[in-house]
């Protein structure tokens, strides 16, 4: 998919309209490593009749051994995720999760023997008695859960990594906010600004080509937080439209502490939008499809552009403020919003 070049000027940079520079939004797609169908940890071979030996390795005379060692036994050797019933095993006692059983075509990834339909009931029983820390404990989550409640918590854990908010590619990178800010700057080459006001000019030579055209992501730092300003063109039903919206680089509860406004206009007309930034927990597509932002119909956008209407020239201005502050109190003071 090809993306349009845009021209952008920020008032923060002190540039005039003659200092416009180009940005190509088509960047390489980062990838995670791929787990081969082989075990990353050693497993002791057992047979079906000796499942009790497995339990003896887990449960000693004084009860359960430290959770880390048991957790390793419950880790699938293929996907490395925790295994939940049904837990499968081969005739030699090597285990794996039900999802990966189909992926390895019914062949044990450790010893290559046929898996069949053998359940590891002993390991499933041990799992019922466990309480384990959230898998995001190394990112700061202090919670401990019964084994079968842990998965539900982890799906909504506030400490889980964030997905890359870049909209111009299917980027699979995840991480905490400082990591993603560096990733956006270094890998996606997005514009980075500081301050709670922004003033961007978007230029497109052929405004009638809007389908699947993601244009711009700008990251700016304000109030000690990071925000993503999106501007793009897409088809809304049969009508081509342009849309600008803001996302907060943090969780939804934190995002509600802030509000923002957007404005675009010319020739004595203007459109304004005011709302709450959406968390980057919500995907870019989800925010866009909910129409939660400033939407500009193409005819109106061309009217704002002036001239012969054959070139799009839009200036989008906006600001962010904390909820306890008055958005009508005049220009924000730089040291209060950075």
Q: What's 21's DSSP letter?
A: E
Q: What's 269's DSSP letter?
A: E
Asked if residues 187 and 27 have their Cβ atoms less than 8 Å apart, the reply is: yes
Supply the DSSP string of 87-113, one letter for each residue: EEE-TT--EEEHHHHHHTTTB-TTT--
Q: Which whole-number Å values give the CA distances from 2 to 24, 173, 210, 234, 243, in the listed order?
A: 10, 21, 11, 14, 19
* Residues contacting residue 330 through CB under 8 Å, at least 6 positions apart: none
* Residues contacting residue 152 through CB under 8 Å, at least 6 positions apart: none
Region label for 330, one of left (φ > 0), alpha (ψ between -120 and 50) or beta (otherwise) = left
Name the pairing type of β-strands 239-248 and 278-279: parallel
Asked if residues 82 and 74 have their Cβ atoms less than 8 Å apart, the reply is: yes
Per-residue pLDDT of the chain (338 residues; tens, 9 = 90+): 333 433 333 333 333 333 333 333 333 333 333 333 233 333 333 343 344 344 344 333 333 444 456 778 888 989 988 888 889 999 998 999 888 988 888 889 899 998 888 999 988 888 888 888 898 988 889 999 888 888 889 988 989 999 999 976 678 899 999 999 999 999 999 999 999 998 888 887 766 665 555 568 899 999 999 999 998 888 777 778 889 999 999 999 999 999 999 999 887 889 999 999 999 999 888 998 899 999 998 888 888 887 666 778 888 999 999 987 555 555 555 445 65
- The tokens describing 214, both together, are 């993601």
Q: What's 65's DSSP letter?
A: P
Q: What's 66's DSSP letter?
A: P
Q: How far apart are CA 333 and CA 197, in angstroms?
A: 10
* 54, containing H or E segment: helix 51-58
Q: What is the pLDDT of residue 295?
A: 92
Positive or negative torsion for Cα 99, 100, 105, 108? negative
> Tokens 């940890």 belong to which residue?
41
In the chain the first and final C-alpha atoms are separated, in Å, by 36
Asked if residues 308 and 192 have their Cβ atoms less than 8 Å apart, the reply is: no
> Tokens 């030996």 belong to which residue?
53
Single out the residue of 149, 94, 142 nearest to residue 116, CA to CA.
94
Asked if residues 202 and 338 have their Cβ atoms less than 8 Å apart, the reply is: no
Q: Alpha-carbon Rg of the chain, whole angstroms? A: 26
Q: What is the pLDDT of residue 210?
A: 58
Q: What is the pLDDT of residue 331?
A: 52
> Tokens 């849309």 belong to which residue?
243
Q: How far apart are CA 27 and CA 257, in angstroms?
A: 33
- Ordered by where they begin, the domains of the chain are 70-156 (3.30.40.10), 162-322 (2.60.210.10)
Helices 121-128 and 147-156, packing angle to 10 deg = 70
C-beta atoms surrounding 236 within 10 Å = 16
Region label for 216, one of left (φ > 0), alpha (ψ between -120 and 50) or beta (otherwise) = beta
């Amino acid at each position: 998919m090809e993306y349009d070049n845009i021209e952008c000027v920020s008032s923060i940079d002190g540039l005039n309209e003659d200092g416009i520079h180009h940005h190509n939004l088509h960047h390489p797609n980062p990838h995670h490593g791929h787990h081969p169908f082989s075990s990353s940890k050693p497993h002791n071979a057992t047979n079906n009749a000796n499942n009790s030996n497995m339990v003896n390795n887990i449960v000693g005379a004084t009860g359960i051994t430290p959770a880390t060692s048991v957790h390793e036994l419950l880790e699938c050797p293929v996907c490395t995720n925790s295994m939940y019933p049904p837990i499968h095993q081969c005739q030699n006692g090597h285990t794996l999760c039900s999802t990966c059983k189909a992926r390895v075509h019914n062949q044990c990834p450790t010893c290559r023997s046929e898996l069949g339909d053998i359940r590891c009931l002993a390991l499933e029983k041990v799992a019922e008695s466990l309480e384990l820390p959230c898998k995001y404990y190394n990112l700061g989550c202090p919670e401990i859960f019964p084994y079968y409640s842990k998965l539900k918590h982890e799906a909504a854990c506030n400490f889980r990594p964030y997905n890359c908010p870049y909209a111009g590619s299917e980027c699979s990178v995840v991480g905490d906010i400082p990591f993603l800010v560096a990733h956006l700057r270094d890998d996606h080459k997005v514009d980075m600004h500081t301050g709670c006001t922004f003033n961007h000019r978007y230029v497109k030579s052929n405004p009638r080509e809007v389908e699947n055209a993601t244009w711009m992501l700008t990251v700016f730092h304000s109030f000690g937080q990071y925000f993503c300003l999106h501007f793009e063109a897409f088809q809304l039903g049969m009508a081509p439209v342009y849309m600008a919206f803001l996302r907060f680089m943090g969780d939804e509860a934190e995002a509600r502490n802030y509000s923002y406004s957007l404005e675009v206009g010319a020739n004595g007309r203007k459109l304004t939008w005011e709302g709450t930034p959406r968390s980057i927990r919500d995907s870019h597509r989800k925010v866009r499809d909910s129409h939660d932002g400033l939407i500009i119909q193409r005819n109106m956008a061309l009217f704002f552009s002036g001239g012969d209407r054959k070139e799009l020239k839009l200036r989008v201005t906006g600001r962010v403020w904390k909820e306890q502050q008055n958005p009508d109190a005049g220009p924000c003071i730089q040291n209060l919003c950075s």
